[in-house]
Structure 1
Amino acid sequence: MTPERDPPFRPMAVLLPLRPREPEPLPRVTTRHGLLFVTAVLLIATVAHAQAPDAPAAAPAAEALTQAPATALTVIIKWLPLLMKGFLFNILISVLAMALGTVAGLMLGLAQISQHRWLRQFAWVTTQFFRNAPWLVLLFFAMFMIPYQFTVFGYVIPFPDWVKAIIGFGLPVMANVAELLRGAIRSIPNGQWEAAESLAFSRNKTLWLIILPQCVKRMLPPWMNLYSLITMATVMANLVGVSEMLTLTAEVHAAEGGRPELLAPLYGFAMLCFFIYCWPIDRATQYLERRFHVKT
């Protein structure tokens, strides 16, 4: 009998641990996109100018020059100070609404994690109501529910429309900031609460000295994105009689005789102003998202 031979050694396949796949980066707005946007606006203005009515052919040359309508670029340059004044008013409304909503939202967000059950429920209901309500409805609500003036100790204090517009835009900001704060606090690992408790920190000290400073990095990028949305939404104030840029654009168009070829250049200029203002904010938001990338 021949001796049995051992089978040849064959190494077994070893399953390596799966390497976590990093999420694919989202497309970013670059300088090329900005140039394409500006080119599109200029192209629209050129097409609108080409559609302008020509001067009568039978009229003399001098009379045709005097009766020739002004070009879109000439109209924009002529009314530029007024249009920019309206745009700065949009920025003022957005900044004040963001400041008011942020302060109120931080208090509302802290109320959502309160130890008092009735306060948590009230804050949750308030946040969900204003967060899911249409912004235009909230704006109308602030316009028609808030009095136009207040009487304090015999003195009449007027309450102009633009102040009520700030309150109307501040309500959704308040709800969204409250939700941002609640989510940021919940994203902090529970081990930090337990470690602070083992060091005899009270709940308030843990919250203000340990938890909230870490929430700043988590909240800042979406907070800036929310400000961009509020800035672009301020054009809705023209529906309630506030003289912002869109209202002044319509008045300029009416002052120029309501020429249809001026609609696209005038409103395109307004769109360009908002794009130039909000685009750097978007770039800064993307930078902070990469800079403050935190792992929960």
Structure 2
Amino acid sequence: MHWTDYLGPLSQGAWVTVQLTFYSTLLGAVMAFAGGMGKLSRNPLLRGLAVVYVEVFRGTSLLVQLFWLYFALPLAGQAIGLDLRIPPVVAGVAALGLNIGAYGAEVVRGALQSVKPGQAEAARALNFTPRQSLWRIALPQALPEMMPSFGNLAVQNLKDTALVSLISLGDLTFRAEQIRNFTQDSIGVYSLLLLMYFGMALVLTAIMRATERAVGRWRPVRR
């Protein structure tokens, strides 16, 4: 086989990787804001749940989390009489999104805490509720500070999608391994794999930088 013959199967796998990256990054963003704001909540239950979530998913391996969701969770469900089997794509999106969200939660928390205390005092002087102060004052100022770190996490998430090949999900890495096993052409296959991941990472970086520039306009003018 010529190396150009690899492009068809690899492109199919790349599309799966793109979908995994997109959906898990969305889930990760939701969990990052939920976890980050939860850690700053005055409600001890919400704060405790956020701390447990962040510490568990940051303190354990993504690979183990993926295996637990796909292999261990169904067995735990059987033990209590529940069918908790989930498709590989759902397990992949869930593991990737929850893991990246835990790291993103610390980014959100740090950015919110970096907003000057005087902003909160001004909000109270205007009779803003804590929720209004958060959504109208703190978040618009904190979000531009989050974007560079979010961009790095998104690229890391793209690279982490390669792990889903271990649960037989037909992503880019899984397709590449199938081709390599059939052709024994490790140099050609893995070289193409590197180039395709690099290309996707460049595109994702460009998207995140464009988003960062757009959000950066929300920064208050410093005088």
The two structures share one fold, judged by TM-score above 0.5: yes
- CA drift of 1:84 comes to 0.6
Residues in 2 aligned to 1:108 and 1:245: alpha-carbon distance in whole angstroms: 31
Indicate the structure (1 or 2) with the bigger Cα radius of gyration: 1
The letter of the residue matching 2:87 is P
Select the residue among 249, 266, 277 that pairs with 2:200.
277
Residue 202 (1) aligns with residue 202 (2): no
Flag structure 2 segments of 5+ consecutive residues without an equivalent: 78-82
Cα distance in 1, alignment partners of residues 175 and 130 from structure 2: 52
Q: Can you list the C-alpha shifts for 1:83-135, whole angstroms capped at 9, x where unaligned?
A: 11001111111111111121122122221111112321331232122123221
Cα deviation for residue 79 of structure 1 reads 2.7
Alpha-carbon distance in structure 2 between the residues aligned to 1:242 and 1:218: 35
2:138: which partner in 1?
Answer: 211
CA distance in 2, matches of 1:241, 1:285: 29
Query: Residue 243 of structure 1 aligns with which residue?
Result: 170
Q: TM-score, normalised by structure 2?
A: 0.85
- State whether residues 74 and 84 of structure 2, in contact with CA within 8 Å, keep that contact through their aligned partners in structure 1: no
Give ranges in structure 1 of 5+ residues lacking alignment.
1-69, 151-155
SS in 1 for 2:74: coil
Q: Which amino acid aligns with 2:60?
A: A
Q: Describe how 1:1-296 pairs up with structure 2 within 5 A.
A: 70=1, 74=2, 76-147=3-74, 159-256=86-183, 258=184, 262-282=185-205, 288=212, 292=216
Distance 1:164 1:183, change over 3 A: same
Cα contact 2:70–2:86 (8 A) shared by 1: no
1:171 Cα offset (Å): 1.5
Q: Which amino acid aligns with 1:273?
A: M
Aligned identity (percent) is 25
In the alignment, the residues of structure 2 paired with residue 281 and residue 248 of structure 1 have an alpha-carbon distance, to the nearest angstrom, of 21
Cα displacement string for residues 119-171 of structure 1 (whole angstroms, at most 9, x for unaligned residues): 213312321221232211111121123339x9xxxxx9973112111111111
Seen in structure 2, the aligned counterparts of structure 1 residues 166 and 285 have a Cα distance that, compared at 3 Å, is closer
Q: 1:252, CA displacement in angstroms? A: 1.4
1:48 paired residue number: none
Give, in angstroms, the shift of residue 279 of structure 1: 2.1
Of Structure 1 and Structure 2, the greater helix share is in 2
Q: TM-score, normalized by length of structure 1?
A: 0.65
The residue identity in structure 1 corresponding to 2:156 is L
2:96 and 2:135 map into 1 onto residues whose CA distance is 28
